[in-house]
Structure 1
Amino acid sequence: MAQLTFRNVDASPAEPVERWPYEGLVAAIERGQISHWARIAQAVRRDPWGQVARDVEAYAQYGDDDGVISLLMESIRRARAQAEKAERAEVARRVREAIALSGLSAERFAKSVGTSASRLSTYRSGAVTPSAAMLVRIERAGSRRRPTVRG
Structure 2
Amino acid sequence: MPATVREDGVEVQISPQFFRNVTTTPSTPIDDWPHEVFRAVLEYGMVYDWRIVADFVRAHPWGKAAHTLEEVIDYSDDLDTYHLMKRILHNARADAQEGERQQVASELASYVRQSGMTQKDFALATGTSASRLSSYISGKTDPRASYVVRARAAALNT
TM-score (norm 1): 0.88
Instruction: Quote how far apart the aligned CAs of 1:115 are.
Output: 0.8
Q: Which moved more, 1:84-93 or 1:58-67?
A: 58-67
| Cα shift readout 1:65-124 (whole Å, capped 9, x = no counterpart) | 220000000000100010000000000011000000001111111110011111111111
125 and 19 in structure 1: CA distance in 2 versus 1, 3 angstrom threshold = same
Moved over 4 A (4+): none
**Unaligned runs of at least 5 residues, structure 2:** 1-12
30 and 120 in structure 1: CA distance in 2 versus 1, 3 angstrom threshold = same
* Equivalent in the alignment of 2:152: 139
TM-score (norm 2): 0.85
CA RMSD of aligned residues (A): 1.5
- Native 8 Å contact 1:13 1:24 kept in 2: no
* Equivalent in the alignment of 1:82: 95
Higher radius of gyration, 1 or 2: 1
Return the structure number with greater strand share: 2
- Native 8 Å contact 2:105 2:139 kept in 1: yes
CA distance in 2, matches of 1:121, 1:17: 41
Instruction: Quote how far apart the aligned CAs of 1:64 are.
Output: 1.3
Read off the aligned partner of 2:43 and give its amino acid letter. E
CA distance in 2, matches of 1:93, 1:11: 42
Q: In the alignment, does 2:71 pair up with 1:58?
A: yes
Instruction: Quote how far apart the aligned CAs of 1:19 are.
Output: 2.9
**Unaligned runs of at least 5 residues, structure 1:** 146-151
